[in-house]
């Protein structure tokens, strides 16, 4: 890399990584933690590859000091982690578990000591099982329990933690959890799916209000949405309309209520009776003003008309002749398209890329190094596109790589490695990958030379 980066990010641009509790912590039954829906789901045969679980994961619950040191060594400025609701409230409501709060309290102090900004996410899919037993996100009360949890965490941490995210990817929580059943709680019920989606949104609004009410300083609060530009598989009218419907459910069904206080009319009409009941005040809570919107981007979505697909008559295809990671097509211009679209259509106060990254089959070489050059290329090519959006005036103020460590990739188990740091899950040894060193340099220089051969 040249000394003079050709691409330089604006002064004050924030660089970091993202992770989530169930994917890295382990310690699933320690110090009073209650069970979550993922603990239950992983134990159901056939739900997770090889029957793997997050029981131990990357053992971050015990190795967090080492992990904070890795972050400091890489020069990271922001650490987005999630708080495990069942560590704080083992039954989801009522009784607080002090050691759970202590864990995050110590983590926050350690981060601040190293000059790393903590960015907790309140919910990254690990609903307390006790609340699932009462109906989970299909139960409107869960939104109120979430506000109670937000208040408790806010009271403890908001003297030091200024930046917060309420939910991670409510679309995935609703759809993978209640429609396809690929994620916990593993249900397949269209009515429940959109009811859960609505309650997730409502709980977001309630949590923002609860955090602000208890805050000991002015907070910056946002939400992290999994968004994707949706492209039609062909120019046919049928494919284009299918893509529009898919975009409605994936993107607009979450962006519109949060940023415009309404559900998109075409989707309300399309979903008809499966649309949830919206109480008179709901939209006012859901659209509570936010300080930023978090965009999680991995790939675009290509859609064709599919008369057999329930409700939306649209399904995804994998275009031929494109480059793929182990999970998705690699499509860097998609992040530019998305950031410019979110800005143009919604004008949020600020935008953060709260997740971007790739899983490729990394291995440790004979000399102990992990040469994950494909990941470096992926990050470089996406950052070029983020920079392009910023240059055109889109207020993107930070970029977080998914993820710090290799971790438990949900139904895929440990096969998918997303980390800037390799984890040997037998020994829990960490090895910073070449991408980690590359990213550290990008942070130091606040930019890079995109023409550098990798």
* Unique residue bearing structure tokens 């980690």: 436
Site for ligand IFM in 369-408 (CB under 6 A): 402
If the CB atoms of residues 142 and 403 are measured against ligand IFM, the closer one turns out to be: 403
- Which residues does 370 contact at the CB level (< 8 Å), separation at least 6? 362, 363, 364, 422, 431, 432, 433, 434
Is position 355 an interface residue for ligand IFM (rule: CB under 6 A)? yes
If the CB atoms of residues 210 and 360 are measured against ligand IFM, the closer one turns out to be: 360
If the CB atoms of residues 142 and 354 are measured against ligand IFM, the closer one turns out to be: 354
* Residues paired with residue 396 on neighbouring β-strands, in sequence order: 351
Residue 169: active-site member: yes
Site for ligand IFM in 23-42 (CB under 6 A): 23
C-alpha–C-alpha distance, residues 157 and 242, integer Å: 45
Site for ligand IFM in 54-73 (CB under 6 A): none
Interstrand relation of 421-424 and 447-448 (parallel, antiparallel or unpaired): unpaired
Is position 409 an interface residue for ligand IFM (rule: CB under 6 A)? yes
Is position 299 an interface residue for ligand IFM (rule: CB under 6 A)? no
Is position 52 an interface residue for ligand IFM (rule: CB under 6 A)? no
If the CB atoms of residues 153 and 165 are measured against ligand IFM, the closer one turns out to be: 165
| Three-class secondary structure of residue 271 per DSSP | helix
With contact defined as beta carbons under 8 Å apart, do 164 and 221 qualify? yes
Site for ligand IFM in 107-126 (CB under 6 A): none
Site size toward ligand IFM (CB under 6 A) is 8
Minimum separation from the CB atom of position 216 to ligand IFM (A): 29
* One of 296, 325, 354, 385 touching ligand IFM (CB under 6 A): 296
* Residue 418, token pair as written in the block: 């997303």
Minimum separation from the CB atom of position 203 to ligand IFM (A): 18
- Catalytic pick among 25, 52, 169, 434: 169
Is position 356 an interface residue for ligand IFM (rule: CB under 6 A)? no
Strand ranges, E, within 251-313: 292-296, 301-305
- Which residues does 9 contact at the CB level (< 8 Å), separation at least 6? 387, 390, 446, 447
C-alpha–C-alpha distance, residues 342 and 328, integer Å: 22
Interstrand relation of 301-305 and 314-317 (parallel, antiparallel or unpaired): antiparallel
Site for ligand IFM in 153-182 (CB under 6 A): 169
Task: Tell me 46's DSSP state.
Answer: T
Residue 4: active-site member: no
Active site residues per annotation:
169, 355
Interface residue list for ligand IFM (CB under 6 A): 20, 23, 169, 296, 355, 402, 409, 418
């Amino acid at each position: 890399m040249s000394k003079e980066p050709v691409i330089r990010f604006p002064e004050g641009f924030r660089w970091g990584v993202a992770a989530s509790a169930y994917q890295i912590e382990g310690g699933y039954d320690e110090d009073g933690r209650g069970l979550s829906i993922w603990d239950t789901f992983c134990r159901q045969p056939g739900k997770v590859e090889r029957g793997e679980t997050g029981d131990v994961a990357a053992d971050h619950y015990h190795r967090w000091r080492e992990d904070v040191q890795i972050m400091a060594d890489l020069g990271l400025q922001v650490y987005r982690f999630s708080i495990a609701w069942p560590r704080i409230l083992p039954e989801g409501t009522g009784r607080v578990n002090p050691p759970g709060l202590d864990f995050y309290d110590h983590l926050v102090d350690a981060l601040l000591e190293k000059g790393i900004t903590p960015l907790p996410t309140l919910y990254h899919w690990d609903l307390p099982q006790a609340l699932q037993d009462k109906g989970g996100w299909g139960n409107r009360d869960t939104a109120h329990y979430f506000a109670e949890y937000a208040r408790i965490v806010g009271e403890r941490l908001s003297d030091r933690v200024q930046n917060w995210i309420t939910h991670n990817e409510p679309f995935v929580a609703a759809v993978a959890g209640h429609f396809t059943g690929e994620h916990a709680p593993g249900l397949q019920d269209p009515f429940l799916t959109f009811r859960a989606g609505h309650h997730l949104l409502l709980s977001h609004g309630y949590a923002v209000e609860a955090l602000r009410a208890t805050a000991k300083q002015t907070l910056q609060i946002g939400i992290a949405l999994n968004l994707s530009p949706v492209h039609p598989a062909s120019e046919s009218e049928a494919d284009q309309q299918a893509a529009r419907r898919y975009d409605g459910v994936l993107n607009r069904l979450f962006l519109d209520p949060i940023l415009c206080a309404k559900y998109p009319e075409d989707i309300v009409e399309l979903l008809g009776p499966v649309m949830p009941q919206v109480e008179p005040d709901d939209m006012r809570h859901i659209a509570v003003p936010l300080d930023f919107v978090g965009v999680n981007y991995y790939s675009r979505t290509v859609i064709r008309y599919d008369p057999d697909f329930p409700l939306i008559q649209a399904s995804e295809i994998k275009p031929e002749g494109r480059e793929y990671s182990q999970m998705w097509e690699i499509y860097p211009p998609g992040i530019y398209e998305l950031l410019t679209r979110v800005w143009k259509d919604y004008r949020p106060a600020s935008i953060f890329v709260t997740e971007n990254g790739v899983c490729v089959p990394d291995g440790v070489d004979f000399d102990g190094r992990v040469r994950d050059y494909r990941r470096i290329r992926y990050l470089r090519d996406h950052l070029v596109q983020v920079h392009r959006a910023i240059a055109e005036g889109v207020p993107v103020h930070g970029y977080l790589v998914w993820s710090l460590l290799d971790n438990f990739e949900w139904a895929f188990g440990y096969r998918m490695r997303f980390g800037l740091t390799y984890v040997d899950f037998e020994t829990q040894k960490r090895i910073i990958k070449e991408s980690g060193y590359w990213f550290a340099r990008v942070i130091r220089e606040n930019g890079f030379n995109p023409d550098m051969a990798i």
